[in-house]
Structure 1
Amino acid sequence: MDLSNMTLEQKIGQMFICGFHSLVPDDQIKKLIQEYHLGGVIYFRRNIGDPEQVAGLSASLQKLAADQGDLPLWIAIDQEGGMVARIDHKKMSRIPGNMSLGATGNPAYSYEVSKISAEELLQVGINMNFAPCLDVNNNPHNPVIGVRSFGEDADRVAEHGAAVIKAFQEKGLSAAAKHFPGHGDTNVDSHMGLATVEHNLDRLQQVELKPFIEAIRGGVDVIMTAHVIFPAIEPERIPATLSRSVLTGLLREDLAYDGIIVTDCLEMHAIAKFFGIGEGAVKAVEAGADVVLVSHTLSDQIEAIEAVKQAVLSGRISEKTIDNAVARILALKSKRLANLKTPDEPPVFRERHEKPEVDRLLKEVSLKSVTLVKDQGQLPLQPETPVLVIWPELRSETQVDEPWTEFVTLGDALSGHVEQVQEIVVSAEPDEEAIERVISVAAGFSQVVLVTYTAGSALPEGQRVLAERLMEQKHDKLVAASTRNPYDLNEIPSIPAYLCCYENTPYFMEALAAVLAGKNKAEGKLPVSLSVLGAV
């Protein structure tokens, strides 16, 4: 199919990526493909079973598009690694997250693990990954980026991000660098509200934009927009996604980017609540977006598609604008999807223990990532003395935090190094009753390891109170280990020992256990600044 023989409806359909809610093609996604000529699909956990199912789903969706005579679909996912991974299965590798990779100080690791991720995603029919995050996380109160960033240093983020993009695209997987022009220095989650970055253009050039400039230099296929206001670039109080000054003036003209611009999801409150889905879609296309993402609701998806069509028919958007966007879409699909073929037989997926070369690399990365920030004579633990591990359990799901279905707790991992381990599980937001229960148990232990977990912008109050109550007990050895955002020490500065893991995935719990037991040295370097730092 070429631009000259496409109807307006076909062209507009190619400009949308949408989600649906089942493990097989349901009425929602069938309608969008068959009636609206959808250009792409996004997967979430709700679409994921085992790899065989995902591969079958991808093939079924591609067949639906082919039967319509439409272009192959982009099949996209947010498989960032670490704490943001939609596919959680023993036959898929647990790729470390960005801050874990940043803590290694070695972009070669980012390249190598991203090659593994790309190979596995392509094997299940996914051809676009909404990654890497190129946000420079220099705001400890950022509730949505945090460990999704490589760190607070723009050069580090640029270097690691370029390595990920290179690995993905060498394998044939389109990378989508996000969230342009930078979501790192915000204290509002754009899923829930509108954030603003107040810095002047010089500062934006030196920090926020630097990783994206490097990505453009490296030929990144796709850049995803941020629903964030940048007054230095756009005088109106509108987010970058809807700003022509940002998407066309800055990204297209000043930075000379000629790839695909995709919006973040328009159902996020920063757009839906303040502008509306249909108007948001029209404004995004007017601003210069090529592809609009509407992830969840069929009525919102249809509203957005129809709004863009009506804007063209009314003359608000010129058909030339649509043609320019679709020409870029056709070029990328021709480059990445022209030889797309459904295999005659389903692919064979190996379990993790059957991939020793991958296992060795991921273990090495985790050991190079674990970071010792502070130790006042607490490490190593004594192997012959009982240890209490307090494990925080994530019991609620957010857009960027999803409980793992398969995990290894620190207690599980530490039991291989210490003679006697007792683990007590509490909510990541423990109430007073849970705190009292833990304190009562902890009174009988001389060695205690408190695992902390912060998904938002600050250590939950219950975890902070628990840490303070433990410090009052005067244990021989008391260690805190953060397993997500590294800023927890700012809330519990008197803790006598503190380590950072950046994620609570199995490889990292095994690596942390080895460090606690003195079997390995913590080699990671803190990729962000803490306002309170103990001596290492």
Structure 2
Amino acid sequence: MSKIVNLSLAEKIGQMVICGFNAYTSDAHIEQLIEKHHIGGVIYFRRNYANVQQMADLSYALQQFNKKNSDIPLFISIDQEGGMVARIDTDEVTLVPGNMSIGAARDAQLAFEAAVICAKELRLMGINVNFAPSLDINNNPKNPVIGVRSYGESAELVSELGIATIESYQSSDVVATAKHFPGHGDTAVDSHYGLASVPHDRERLMQLELAPFIRAIQAGVDMIMTAHVMFPAFEPGEIPATLSRKVLHDLLRIELKYDGVIVTDCLEMHAISKEFGVAEGAVMAIEGGADIVLVSHTLEEQVAAIEALMQAVQSGRLSEEQINASVERILSLKEKRRMSDIHPLTGGVAAQFGTPESKKVIRQLTEKSITIVKDEDQPTFDLSAPTLVIWPEVRHHTEVDEPIEQAYTLGPALAELGVDVKEFRVSTHPTSEEIASALALAADYEQIVVVTYNAVSELHEGQVSIVRQIAARPNVNLTVASTRNPYDLNQFPEVKRYVCCYENRPMTMAALAKVLTGNIAAQGKLPVTLSPDYSFGMAVN
């Protein structure tokens, strides 16, 4: 690996930028950034994934192309948090549960084992950085962007499970990233679309929001990602943590003694791009103390950010001494995690992913997560009764969720266990016609499971309407199962049986079916408080 003294200013600036592109193969967009602008890393999204062999080939091709211009390997990164936030979510890989599922399961050892599985499969695909885990504490039910990406509302729980995950990734030579510093959990604005603020005082922030990050620093986390969120207790100016020297340098570097790599969240998110501009945001972030800026999508914005950083050094706004310190940290981390160890993926590809041993671990963890929150005055689930499942399909794109088509849902999972089941699908934003059709069909059934899916702060009114109208019927054996944020119960407290699943992935639906039919006992505990009656840690077991 080249020493920093052998690098030009342009090469050093390039190491401080990670960029994304939209292709399954190495294309002119990313090759220009690697060859001309010397970028230090790439980020993958779902748009880059077709299958595991293709992704491994892409990673290898990018590293080989980069070798023509530099002997410093690329960071190849991804947001593979697990559960509902996974850029790779096909049956080819072992899909790890999301953080809130793990928080409900309360098992640090299984969390560690699950992250080992994820890390090994990422490395097989040439991915060496995971922008995970989220150490945000979800203590705001109206948070539109964190929710189930958090382990829960307890600093102790988030710290325990977060550290297990960090140590697991890093033991497998995948860079772990604690995010979103200083904490994005108590916000009601999605930073993809606007600028949020966490108004609490310093003492409260240090004891709660920052506590998992402090533990992560003590545990030697490789990387910390910033939040595009304002923290007036640390930064009185109206600028987010990502751009604040008081937050990144004074608090994180000096007070908390963090000496690892600081990376920004994507600067194209509106909290930065609309308020400050991507190019200016890049300079402000480095000025504030970040080592790497992330610009995920647009070539023009990526080039503008790089050129702005070059100009800032040349004009004296940024010192080359600070640039050197950042690049030293970056090169040290690439060497520490053996990123020069690059091999193509050949032979028996499928057998290396989603192995029976891996799936056994994930099944155990998933089955421990299913949480019965409420079960009052209801007959038990009747295996012999015709059963209707109303299933919400994710057809709407958000910055966190993408439309997905699932063949294996709760209906097929119940059918595998011998239940006579019909499944009726509606949108997560059901139309009046969908609502009417669902209710007309429900009239013919006495045993019904309504699955709900809340991706934002409140469940869509159409889903609420379906639940309430079915719940109002006499003698109906109704179960409501939430498969995203767990707070749905607050919109229909009259429901007598309510189960939290935290995600709608196939293995979770298989676990839910087993719980409903009595094949396994529910073991999960609420990782968040739903209301005064349904508080953190409770469950009906």
TM-score normalised by L of structure 1: 0.98
Query: Could you tell me how far 1:216 is from its partner in structure 2?
Result: 0.5
Query: Aligned partners of 2:170, 2:366: CA distance in 1, in Å?
Result: 24
Query: Could you tell me how far 1:334 is from its partner in structure 2?
Result: 1.5
Query: Could you tell me how far 1:209 is from its partner in structure 2?
Result: 0.4
Query: Within the alignment, does 1:458 sit opposite 2:467 as a pair?
Result: no
Once the two structures are superposed, the pairs formed by residues 40-439 of structure 1 within 5 Å of their partners are: 40-337=41-338, 339-343=340-344, 346=346, 348-350=348-350, 355-378=355-378, 380-439=380-439
Q: Is the 8 A contact 2:140 2:188 kept in 1?
A: yes
Q: Is the 8 A contact 2:121 2:353 kept in 1?
A: no
Query: Could you tell me how far 1:407 is from its partner in structure 2?
Result: 4.5
In structure 2, the CA distance between the partners of 1:351 and 1:480, relative to structure 1 (3 Å rule), is farther
Q: Which residue of 1 aligns with 2:530?
A: 530
Residue deviations 1:433-453 (CA, integer Å, cap 9, x gap): 211111111011101100000
SS at match of 2:164: helix
Residue deviations 1:285-344 (CA, integer Å, cap 9, x gap): 00000000000000000010001111111111111111111111111112113541324x
Q: Is the 8 A contact 1:91 1:351 kept in 2?
A: no
Query: Could you tell me how far 1:378 is from its partner in structure 2?
Result: 2.8
Query: Aligned partners of 2:404, 2:169: CA distance in 1, in Å?
Result: 24
Query: Could you tell me how far 1:532 is from its partner in structure 2?
Result: 5.8
In structure 2, the CA distance between the partners of 1:347 and 1:157, relative to structure 1 (3 Å rule), is farther
Query: Could you tell me how far 1:416 is from its partner in structure 2?
Result: 2.2
Q: Is the 8 A contact 1:81 1:96 kept in 2?
A: yes
Query: Aligned partners of 1:218, 1:207: CA distance in 2, in Å?
Result: 18
TM-align CA RMSD: 1.4
Query: Could you tell me how far 1:358 is from its partner in structure 2?
Result: 1.4
348-357 vs 407-416, which moves further: 348-357
69-78 vs 239-248, which moves further: 69-78
In structure 2, the CA distance between the partners of 1:302 and 1:336, relative to structure 1 (3 Å rule), is same
Query: Aligned partners of 2:421, 2:290: CA distance in 1, in Å?
Result: 54
Structure 1 unaligned regions, length at least 5: none
Q: Which residue of 1 aligns with 2:511?
A: 511
Query: Aligned partners of 1:85, 1:242: CA distance in 2, in Å?
Result: 27
SS at match of 2:89: coil
Query: Could you tell me how far 1:405 is from its partner in structure 2?
Result: 4.7
Q: Is the 8 A contact 2:393 2:425 kept in 1?
A: yes
Q: Is the 8 A contact 1:248 1:287 kept in 2?
A: yes
Q: Is the 8 A contact 1:282 1:308 kept in 2?
A: yes
Query: Aligned partners of 2:148, 2:274: CA distance in 1, in Å?
Result: 27
Query: Aligned partners of 1:69, 1:286: CA distance in 2, in Å?
Result: 26
SS at match of 2:265: coil
SS at match of 1:479: strand
Amino acid in the other structure paired with 1:531: S
Structure 2 unaligned regions, length at least 5: none
In structure 2, the CA distance between the partners of 1:496 and 1:276, relative to structure 1 (3 Å rule), is same
In structure 2, the CA distance between the partners of 1:417 and 1:342, relative to structure 1 (3 Å rule), is closer
Query: Aligned partners of 1:338, 1:119: CA distance in 2, in Å?
Result: 14
Query: Aligned partners of 1:68, 1:263: CA distance in 2, in Å?
Result: 25
In structure 2, the CA distance between the partners of 1:360 and 1:24, relative to structure 1 (3 Å rule), is same
Residue deviations 1:43-67 (CA, integer Å, cap 9, x gap): 0000001100000000000011101
Q: Is the 8 A contact 1:141 1:187 kept in 2?
A: yes
Query: Aligned partners of 1:465, 1:532: CA distance in 2, in Å?
Result: 24
Query: Aligned partners of 1:147, 1:354: CA distance in 2, in Å?
Result: 23
460-469 vs 162-171, which moves further: 460-469
Q: Is the 8 A contact 2:291 2:326 kept in 1?
A: yes
In structure 2, the CA distance between the partners of 1:284 and 1:407, relative to structure 1 (3 Å rule), is farther
Query: Could you tell me how far 1:357 is from its partner in structure 2?
Result: 1.4
Q: Is the 8 A contact 1:100 1:369 kept in 2?
A: yes
Percent of aligned pairs with the same amino acid: 53
Query: Aligned partners of 1:232, 1:153: CA distance in 2, in Å?
Result: 21
Query: Could you tell me how far 1:221 is from its partner in structure 2?
Result: 0.5
Once the two structures are superposed, the pairs formed by residues 11-50 of structure 1 within 5 Å of their partners are: 11-50=12-51
Amino acid in the other structure paired with 1:117: C
345-354 vs 298-307, which moves further: 345-354
Amino acid in the other structure paired with 1:415: A
Query: Aligned partners of 1:69, 1:108: CA distance in 2, in Å?
Result: 40
Q: Is the 8 A contact 2:369 2:523 kept in 1?
A: yes
TM-score normalised by L of structure 2: 0.97
In structure 2, the CA distance between the partners of 1:479 and 1:406, relative to structure 1 (3 Å rule), is closer
Query: Aligned partners of 1:520, 1:377: CA distance in 2, in Å?
Result: 21
SS at match of 2:425: strand
